[in-house]
Each structure stands twice: as structure tokens, then as C-alpha cells.
Amino acid sequence: MKTIISELESVLKQSFQACGYDESLAKVTLSNRPDLCEYQCNGAMTGAKLYHKAPFMIAEDVVGKAKENPVFSMIEVVKPGFINMNVAPDYLADYLNRMAKEPSYGVDQIGEGHTIIIDYGGPNVAKPLHIGHLRPAIIGESIKRIRKFCGYNTIGDVHLGDWGYQMGLIIESLKETHPDLFELESLDEAGITVSVLEEVYPAASKRAKTDTEFAAKAHEATRLLQLKDPAYYGVWRKIIEISVADLIRNYEKLNVHFDLWNGESDAQDFIPDMVEEMKEKGFAYVSNGALVVDVKEETDKKEIPPCLIVKSDGAYLYATTDLATLVQRRREYDPEEVIYVVDKRQEMHFTQVFRCARKTGIVSDDTGLVFVGFGTMNGKDGKPFKTRDGGVMRLEKLIADTQDSIYEKLKDDAFSEDEKRQISEKVALSAIKYGDLSNQASKDYIFDIERFCEFEGNTGPYILYTMVRIKSILRKNGMIDHLDKNDLMISAYHSDSEKELQLKITSFSENMLQACRENAPHKVCQYIYEVSNALNAFYHSNNILKESDPKVKESYLALIILTYKVLEQGIELLGFEAPERM
């Protein structure tokens, strides 16, 4: 199904062609002056240069042809040559009725046949998820859902930090406290849980800075692990198993799910051949004892250092692992695009990796490598968000605190204790996710949980409250089962508020496709907020429950049902859901 703008463009293209002008001039946009018109076309301004003719004259020619089309209730020329348009009420209603019956509500499946991988999450094993893991998880999850909704074959990869010196530190520390470590069938036998592992690493890391003997043992443990010594590799596997199980549990609380639970370790086997090929083809060379690849380009306005592949001591780096991961992804999935959702402060690193991958042929020239860098989540003081005692808050605690905050707002005695808790979980998740995702990913923002939990304003709870209101109206009319049907028809609008809601719903496709193309969940947030505002304005201006005209009432109900479905799809793309009541 075409977007409504595409349909209007098709009509105007015919008019431009009929008047002897190029159809590419018939570009339609939403009006930047909604007080004057709903849509506009500025093609005559461009055409003036092509045809050496006054834009007003071109626009008059086109409007003279187009005004006969029943799609428009108004189409006129405004000097110096703008074409202003309003769509006919019957056409608008027809478009909405067609949209209601379309899969994905008419959104074009632009990604059909295309495979993409989204790299997001990036936690280290044997460490708890903290508030710093929030942004990559929920931004990446939303981008994945949006891309999938638009037809892409999407693969989400958590990309675990599960290799290297940190693992050597943990294993060596566990050996001291558990001499029978290598003989254990499972770590549970020795009471080694996730909580224990979370304490082991920071203590071992601190100790290694002053205890040279312990540090040397940890380095040896790392070496043996990387050689896949059966004993060390076996313990490492057990650590991974209990860590990943805990990570899955915590990510599920955020409604975040990964298709692949690969880590840095999965790319290690690809590194030796990759490095050899770089050397054989002359891309990599030795500089100050290290192996590097030049990635600077003539157009660079700032210095881009070489990509460091192997350190002078023979150790690999993050760039090495990221490049080897691309080798693995190409062999196993051959994606047309790989999207990285990471801290924007890593932009230089990924610039080097992307250029190195292209230069050395690790990826083809037409493979998209996309860096979605996110900004910092700050407290009300404008500094990176911390707990009251200055520490880094665990993600579990953030979620629990937000649920408690919502629970306190649910004073209605009509809710049972269990229902209050269930509602709190859903509304809290909407507060956290919408509070983050409503900001452009690349920008820093203030994490204000009190404001995010408000039931009014541009918040997740406000969106959910709007949806609950729609369901309440349907229940009171005995029409709740019509949410799963398409048997009610929307008719031409009867009021300005109804018209505004209808127009807002018709722009669903444009907004979802824009969010997809730009990897921009905040576009979805902005759209569903505007839809919610339009729905509530319509609700307050029209007595839906007491409408006496059966045809008008049916149209009202059909419109709010479609509104609910659009909002429901929007919040699904953001990764949360609505309760039945609030």
C-alpha cells in the first residue's frame, strides 16, 4: 500500500506531465503551515529554473489539471508558486479503511530479502548489568524491531566481552579459593554463583596491580585459556554458562532479546588467517614493533591514526576482534548491513575498524557498516547518572525502584495486589524505555525517573493511559471484541478534532519508514505521542459513548480501534506493552 503522500504525488505527477513538466517535480510534503493547508508541493519553484518560466505560472498550470481530481477538497496556488492541498474527507476515510485491512497497516516492506546484523548490548561476563548497559540494550532492541517490522531479516548479537586477561584473573583467583576447581562437574558444587563471580573480578583486578606474582599467574592462565587448554577452557565454559543465564534473566526484565549470544571468543579462531592475509596482501606493516594498517584518507580533516592489529608483545586488541567478528559474520550470514549500537565516544575506533575492513576486503564495498553512537545518560546534576552514594546503579535496582514508584501511584482500591504489581511492571518498563528512547540517541539526556513516571506529558505512562482509555470506551460500548476484527467502517470526519486524528493516523507509514531508514526510535516516540494527543483531543471534543447517530458512532469506534492498533504497534517497536487497566 502506498503512503498517503505517495498517492498524492501520483496524482500530481499526472498533472505535471499533462502540462509538459517533469513528473519528478511533483514532490509532496506535509505542510509546514497546517493553519493554511494539510499538504504542499514546491516543485514549481524548482521547475522555474528548468523551464525559464515564473513558478506561479507553472503552479497554475498544474493546479488547473489537478483540481478536477476528487482526491482534493482544496488545491490552490500561493505566490510565488507554492501548491497547497487539502484531501477530501471521503478520500481520507477510504484511505484509513484500506490501511486498517493491510498487513503492517500499509507500511512498505522495504527490507524484504535483506539481512542485517545489529550489534548491541556488549556486556562483560562475570559482571552485573548496570545502568551503563541500558542505552545500548533498549536502543538496539528497538532498532531491531523497527527494521524487522519493515521487512528486514534481522539478527541481533549481544557481542559478549568473554575473553582475554579478565578471564585469566577470574580463573586464577578461583583456583586459590577452590583448589579442586578443575575437577568440578559444575561451579554450583562449590557454591560459585553469579554473585560470587561479580565479587571476584574487581578484587582480582585490584590485587593484580600490586601483586606481581599473582598478575603473572593470571597472564599465564589467560595464555593457557587462549590455547584452549582443556582444564582452563572447561572452567571458562562453566563461567560463561552461569553468566549468560543471569544476563538472559536480566535482559528479559527489559524485554530485550538476542538472536546470537556470541562473544569475542567466537572470533578468535578467525584472527590468525585474517592477520596473515593482511600481511600477504601488503595492507599490514610493522611500526614500532606493532602490526598496523593505514586507514587515513585524503579527504580527512583530522588525523585518523593507523588501525592497530597486533601489539608489539603479540597481543590482539579490540580492533582485531571486531575485524575478525566481521569475517565470521560474512562467512556465516553474509549480511548486507551491520549496525553497531555503542557509546558515541567509540566513534574513532569504529571509523578505523570500518575503513580497515573495507580496505582489506573483509567486507565488500556495498556492505553497509553503520555506527549508531549514543550519548550519556546523566543525572539531574548534568553528570553521568550515579546512585546516591556515588556508585554505578545496577540495572535490576533501577527497574525495581521504578516499579515501586509506579506502584505508589496506583492507589485505586479496585486493583488487587497482584494486579497492581503486574501493572507496575508494565508501566515502569514504559517509563524507563520511553524516557530514554524519546531522546535522539546521539544526544546526552537527563534521566529523571520522577518525570518519566508521570501519567501526563510526553511519557511512556501517558501513552499507555491513552491506550487503556480506548479499551475502556470499547468495553463500555460492549465492543471490546472488535479490536480483533475489521468489521467497522470509518466515514468522513464530522469535526476538526476527528479530522486531526484521522490525518495523524494516515502518516503512520511515513513515520515508521523514516524511523527505519534513520535508525531513529525517537521518531516512533514522537509519532505515538502526537497520536495520543490527537486521540485525547478527539475524546474530549466528542461524546463517543452517547453519540445518537449509529453511522457516526460506528465511525468513531472504528477510528479509535485503528488508533489503538497503531499505538500498540508503536509501543511494540519500542519494546513494551500496555496493561488492561491503569
For residue 472, the 8-state DSSP code is H
Digit-by-digit pLDDT tens for the chain (582 residues) are: 999 999 999 999 999 999 999 999 999 999 989 989 999 999 999 999 999 999 999 999 999 999 989 999 999 999 999 999 999 999 999 999 999 999 999 999 999 999 999 999 999 998 888 888 999 999 999 999 999 999 999 999 999 999 989 999 999 999 999 999 999 888 888 899 988 998 999 999 999 999 999 999 999 999 999 889 999 999 999 999 999 999 999 999 999 999 999 999 999 999 999 999 999 999 999 999 999 999 999 999 999 999 999 999 888 999 999 999 999 999 999 999 999 999 999 999 999 999 999 999 999 999 999 999 999 999 888 888 876 666 678 899 999 999 999 998 887 767 888 899 999 999 999 999 999 999 999 999 999 999 999 999 999 999 999 999 999 999 999 999 999 888 999 999 999 999 999 999 999 999 999 999 999 999 999 999 999 999 999 999 999 989 999 999 999 999 999 999 999 999 999 999 999 988
3-state secondary structure 528-569: HHHHHHHHHHHHHHCCCCCCCCHHHHHHHHHHHHHHHHHHHH
The residues near 549 (Cβ < 8 Å, ≥ 6 apart) are none
Phi-psi region of 104 (alpha: psi -120 to 50; beta: other; left: phi over 0): left
How many residues in the chain?
582
pLDDT at position 385 is 81
Query: Which helix H or strand E contains 116, and what residues bound it?
Result: strand 115-119
Q: How far apart are CA 402 and CA 284, in angstroms?
A: 51
pLDDT at position 384 is 81
Task: Report pTM.
Answer: 0.94
Q: How far apart are CA 254 and CA 243, in angstroms?
A: 17
CB 538 within 8 A of CB 497: yes
CB 479 within 8 A of CB 103: no
pLDDT at position 389 is 64
Q: How far apart are CA 263 and CA 123, in angstroms?
A: 9
CB 483 within 8 A of CB 415: no
Q: How far apart are CA 141 and CA 154, in angstroms?
A: 11
Q: How far apart are CA 97 and CA 91, in angstroms?
A: 10
Query: Which helix H or strand E contains 72, and what residues bound it?
Result: strand 72-78
CB 504 within 8 A of CB 536: no
pLDDT at position 360 is 97
CB 326 within 8 A of CB 368: no
Closest-CA residue to 435 (of 423, 449, 422, 455)? 449
Residue indicated by cell numbers 460506528: 554
Q: How far apart are CA 237 and CA 232, in angstroms?
A: 9
Q: How large is the C-alpha radius of gyration of the chain?
A: 29
Distances 223 to 93, 179, 241, 433 between C-alpha atoms, Å: 69, 20, 21, 41
Q: Long-range contacts of range 88-93, CB-CB < 8 Å, 24 or more positions apart?
A: 89/492, 89/493, 89/499, 90/492, 92/492, 92/493, 92/499, 92/502, 92/503, 92/506, 93/489, 93/490, 93/491, 93/492, 93/493, 93/502, 93/555
- 305 by DSSP, 3-state: which? coil
Closest-CA residue to 434 (of 466, 476, 390)? 466
